[in-house]
Amino acid sequence: MEPLLNAKQYREIADFLERELDELTSYGEEIEKLSLSVVGDLQYFSRPAPEVRILGQQLGIVQDQVSEAVEILHTLANIAELKKKFPIHPLLVVQMQNRINSYIDYYNNRLKQETSQEGKGKEN
């Protein structure tokens, strides 16, 4: 299997996801502020509310997964460039491609949203 995109496209998506990671980090800081709403004895046993704790845990998981997707996208970009010089085993590409397809879909959907919003802005 050939890489589905070219090296430039993989890198654009990786850059986009890296910007999204920055936004997630900011969001995580907001979650930390929420954790100030604690339960329990404030002096001795303060802890974040369960909902805030769970949200923070999930955010960490998502950040790890997106970071991994960025690495895979950079690897696929390199493979797309290297495939001209020597053959790449198809199973390697299939495995990596399957792991990032949802991120490519997310990127494409966000592009469509931005394009449609720009079109609406020009109409007004």
Residues in a beta bridge with 47: 39
* pLDDT tens per residue across span 75-96: 999 998 988 888 888 888 899 9
Q: Supply the pLDDT for residue 71.
A: 97
Please write the tens of the pLDDT for every residue from 103-123.
Answer: 999 999 999 998 888 877 666
- The backbone torsions φ and ψ at residue 38, rounded to the nearest 5 degrees and listed phi first, read -100, 165
Cβ(10)–Cβ(74) below 8 Å: yes
pLDDT at 8: 95
Mean per-residue pLDDT for 40-52? 63
Q: Is 41 helix (H, G, I), strand (E, B) or coil?
A: coil
Dihedral (Cα; 3, 96, 91, 93), 10-degree rounding:
20
pTM, two decimal places: 0.79
Amino acid at 56: G
Question: How confident is the prediction for the chain on average, in pLDDT?
Answer: 84
Q: What percentage of the chain carries pLDDT values higher than 70?
A: 82
Task: Write down the pLDDT at residue 63.
Answer: 93
Residue 36 binned pLDDT confidence (cut-offs 50, 70, 90): low
Residue owning tokens 């369960």:
50
